[in-house]
């Protein structure tokens, strides 16, 4: 077999595994959206079967032989081929360390755990979730041990979401961020609060749906290749070319929840829609890392979606969409309200500044759960204690405390830090975009509802590359510099200095 035959066979096999995983993604989406309650056990069996099959294919010793046959043959280390080989090797080496039994067990238990989490959250009853979370955690510790690590079991899990990142690196980055953020938030708290009642008026769900979908379409989410449904926890699930599903949740008395959720998920969705279909099923056609994925959602939600030019365009339309609700309001009032910095309980509804404190909290708790320093039974107490320290508030219920997020129920330990990485990447991309096009040119284009320059830049600098470059490298190529918290802090300081209360 020639090296080029071996590469072609590698690609074929990579696509097959991706296709199995895309079947699981459909089943996972359905589980969150439409599956009836009693279907959970069967769904667990289905997902376990598919996970086992994918794992069997992903660990086939033939892959090791094919990789050995092609490694080192690409002359350009930046070529698509070299990148695919690099990433397939990385995934293969990881997969073969995890026993099939563990993969299937994780698929089954996390399906049941998600169901238990939904119930626990709805009933505000942590005990419903606890035994399943304990089982998930035990399995994830087993996974970390199987994969191996030098410093902390967390490293083994983090690598799945943010290839190349380390616990120590994140710790250092977050410590620096915390040091700057806390005084910023304190200063904002001491200023007079902008009025936010404008966001809590009557926003009928059908109109919210129409308005959010119109905005998602306007910024570039392709509804021929996607859709939006309603779920307890918003997410984006991309099955592959031509099929990307977003979800959101509507609150008829609070505008932000669905609208910024949709902008956020549409950002994820446009990234997936911007991957090159000819590379589907290979690393070159796969998102770079979850940090980069999150940068895309945060970019549209915050950098664009909370900016003045965006609302110069959309605010008159918003008034029309909700007649009576906003008649007397000015764009400036609305902008102040959606940019208000104020500690609150729910991560996905947090402002851009305090959001990162929510992540710090989860990161520390995850580390403690994984190392065994914190027992699952003590999680609600530990959550509330840390929350009070960081935010000066105590959640009244576990549903607005440690039960609010789906992640742990699906085994997503190591996932949360990628959210803050996303915020940092987004701000750095935003600075680079403005530098490349000129800030006023971008503002002018957004103000008239033309999002093509923005989306075009992201497509060119981020989307089309898939996983060709690792995140750090992609960032350097796109912005000319390594990832730094500075652009995010500059962005935040500028915003906070502007957002004087206007009433």
3-state secondary structure of 228: strand
From the list 224, 327, 328, 497, which residue makes contact with a copy of itself (rule: CB under 8 A)?
224
Is residue 241 near a copy of itself by the rule CB under 8 A?
yes
Answer yes or no whether residue 9 interacts with a copy of itself by CB under 8 A: no
Put residue 438 in one of left, alpha, beta given phi > 0 → left and psi -120 to 50 → alpha: left
**246 pairs with which residues across the strands?**
228, 236
* CA–CA distance, 355 with 411 (Å, rounded to integer): 22
Candidate residues 8, 40, 146, 368; the one interacting with a copy of itself per rule CB under 8 A: 40
Beta carbons of 429 and 295 less than 8 angstroms apart: yes
Q: Which of 10, 13, 22, 212 is the binder for a copy of itself (CB under 8 A)?
A: 22
Least Cα distance to 461 among 249, 292, 220, 301 occurs for 292
Segment near a copy of itself (CB under 8 A), from 17-25, 182-190, 211-219, 297-305?
A: 17-25
Q: Per CB under 8 A, does 227 bind a copy of itself?
A: yes
How many whole angstroms separate alpha carbon 158 and alpha carbon 142?
14
Residue whose entry in the numeric block shows the structure tokens 């035990």? 138
CB of 239 to a copy of itself, least distance (A): 6
DSSP 8-state secondary structure symbol assigned to residue 195: P
Min dist. Cβ of residue 235 to a copy of itself (A)? 15
Choices 60-68, 70-78, 240-248, 492-500; region in contact with a copy of itself by CB under 8 A: 240-248
CA distance 344 to 342: 6
Sequence-separated (6 or more) residues with CB below 8 Å from residue 135: 109, 113
Verify whether residue 385 is a known catalytic residue.
no
Q: Is the CB of 26 or the CB of 184 nearer to a copy of itself?
A: 26
Q: What is the DSSP string of 440-458?
A: HHHHHHHHTT--HHHHHHH
Q: How far is the CB of 222 from a copy of itself (least distance, A)?
A: 8
The reply to whether 44 sits near a copy of itself by the rule CB under 8 A is no
Name the segment binding a copy of itself (CB under 8 A); options: 233-241, 310-318, 433-441, 464-472: 233-241
Please tell me whether residue 39 binds a copy of itself under the rule CB under 8 A. Answer: yes
What residues numbered 242-271 form the site for a copy of itself, per CB under 8 A?
242-243
Residue 285 as a binder of a copy of itself (CB under 8 A): the answer is no
By CB under 8 A, is residue 26 in contact with a copy of itself?
Answer: yes
Stretch touching a copy of itself by CB under 8 A, among 2-10, 43-51, 67-75, 97-105: 43-51
Structure tokens at 293: 């994925």
In the complex, minimum distance from the CB of residue 34 to a copy of itself, in angstroms, rounded to a whole number: 6
Half-sphere exposure of 478 (CA within 13 A, CB side): 30
Rounded to an integer, what distance in angstroms lies between the CA atom of residue 268 and that of residue 264?
7
Encoding tokens for residue 220?
């570039």
Judged by CB under 8 A, the residue of 153, 194, 240, 380 near a copy of itself is: 240
Nearest distance from residue 389's CB to a copy of itself, in Å? 43
The token pair at 302 is: 């915050």
Task: Report angle CA 206, 397, 36 to the nearest 5 degrees.
Answer: 50
- 9, 16, 160, 364: which one contacts a copy of itself (CB under 8 A)? 16
- Residue nearer to a copy of itself on the CB measure, 17 or 157: 17
Residue 36 touching a copy of itself (CB under 8 A): yes
> Which residue blocks in 372-485 are alpha helix, DSSP H?
379-391, 417-437, 439-447, 452-461, 471-479
Torsion angle of C-alpha atoms 300, 306, 311, 313, degrees rounded to 10: -20
CB of 47 to a copy of itself, least distance (A): 9
User: Closest approach of Cβ 420 to a copy of itself, in Å?
Assistant: 32
Residue 221 makes contact with a copy of itself by CB under 8 A: no
d(CA 49, CA 34): 21
Closest CB to a copy of itself among residues 18, 478: 18
Scanning 42-50, 311-319, 382-390, 419-427 for contacts with a copy of itself by CB under 8 A, the matching segment is 42-50
Tell me the closest approach of the beta carbon of residue 230 to a copy of itself, in angstroms.
Answer: 12
Instruction: Provide the edge-to-edge strand list for the sheet that holds 243-248.
Output: 226-230, 243-248, 236-240
488 lines the binding site for a copy of itself (CB under 8 A): no
Find the shortest distance in angstroms from Cβ 371 to a copy of itself: 37
| Residue 226 engages a copy of itself in binding (rule: CB under 8 A) | yes
Q: Is 60 in the site for a copy of itself (CB under 8 A)?
A: no
Alpha helix locations (H) across 199-274?
205-219, 255-274
What gap in Å lies between CA 267 and CA 471, rounded to an integer? 17
Cα(120)–Cα(130) distance, integer angstroms? 9
Active-site position among 265, 294, 301, 431: 265
Place of tokens 């829609």: 273
According to CB under 8 A, which one of 3, 73, 124, 225 is a site residue for a copy of itself? 225
Query: Where does residue 372 fall: left (phi above 0), alpha (psi -120 to 50 degrees), or beta otherwise?
Result: left
Q: How far apart are the first and last CA of the chain?
A: 74
Binding residues for a copy of itself, how many (CB under 8 A)?
36
Residues at the interface with a copy of itself (CB under 8 A): 16, 19-20, 22-23, 26-27, 30, 33-43, 45-46, 49-50, 53, 222-227, 229, 239-243
Active site residues: 265
């Amino acid at each position: 077999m020639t090296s080029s035959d071996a590469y072609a066979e590698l690609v074929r096999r990579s696509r097959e595994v991706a296709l199995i995983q895309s079947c699981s993604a459909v089943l996972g989406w359905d589980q969150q959206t439409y599956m009836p309650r009693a279907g959970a056990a069967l769904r667990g069996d289905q997902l376990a079967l598919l996970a086992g099959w994918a794992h069997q294919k992903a660990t086939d010793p033939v892959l090791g032989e094919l990789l050995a046959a092609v490694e080192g043959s690409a002359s350009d280390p930046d070529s698509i081929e070299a990148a695919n080989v690099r990433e397939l090797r990385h995934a293969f080496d990881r997969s073969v360390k995890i026993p099939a039994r563990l993969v299937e067990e994780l698929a089954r238990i996390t399906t049941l755990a998600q169901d238990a989490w939904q119930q626990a959250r709805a009933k505000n009853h942590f005990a419903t979730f606890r035994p399943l979370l304990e089982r998930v955690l035990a399995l994830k510790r087993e996974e970390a041990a199987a994969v191996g690590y030098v410093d902390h079991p967390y490293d083994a899990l983090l690598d799945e979401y943010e290839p190349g990142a380390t616990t120590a690196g994140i710790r250092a980055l977050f410590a620096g961020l915390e040091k700057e953020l806390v005084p910023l938030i304190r200063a904002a708290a001491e200023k007079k609060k902008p009025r936010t009642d404008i966001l809590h008026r009557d926003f009928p769900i059908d109109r919210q749906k129409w308005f959010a979908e119109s905005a998602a379409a306007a910024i570039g989410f392709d509804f021929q290749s996607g859709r939006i449904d309603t779920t307890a926890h918003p997410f984006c699930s991309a099955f592959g070319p031509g099929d990307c599903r977003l979800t959101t949740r509507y609150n008829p008395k609070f505008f932000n929840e669905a609208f910024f959720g949709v902008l956020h998920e549409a950002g994820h969705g446009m990234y997936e829609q911007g991957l090159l279909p000819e590379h589907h099923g290979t690393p070159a056609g796969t998102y770079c890392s979850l940090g980069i994925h999150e940068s895309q959602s945060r970019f549209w939600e915050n950098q664009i979606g909370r900016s003045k030019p965006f609302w110069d365009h959309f605010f008159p339309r918003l008034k029309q969409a909700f007649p009576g609700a906003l008649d007397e309001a000015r764009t400036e009032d609305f902008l102040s309200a959606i940019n208000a910095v104020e500690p609150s309980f729910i991560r996905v509804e947090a402002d851009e500044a305090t959001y990162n404190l929510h992540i710090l909290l989860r990161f520390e708790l995850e580390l403690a759960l994984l190392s065994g320093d914190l027992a699952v039974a003590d999680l609600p107490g530990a959550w509330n204690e840390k929350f009070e320290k960081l935010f000066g508030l105590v959640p009244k219920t576990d549903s607005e405390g440690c039960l609010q997020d789906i992640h742990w129920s699906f085994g997503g330990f190591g996932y949360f830090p990628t959210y803050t990485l996303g915020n940092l990447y987004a701000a750095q991309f935003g600075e680079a975009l403005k530098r490349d096009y000129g800030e006023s040119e971008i503002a002018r284009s957004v103000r008239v509802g033309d999002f093509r320059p923005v989306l075009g830049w992201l497509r060119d600098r981020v989307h089309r590359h898939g996983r060709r470059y690792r995140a750090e490298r992609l960032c350097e190529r796109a912005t000319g510099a390594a990832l730094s918290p500075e652009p995010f802090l500059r962005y935040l300081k500028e915003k906070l200095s502007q957002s004087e209360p206007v009433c």
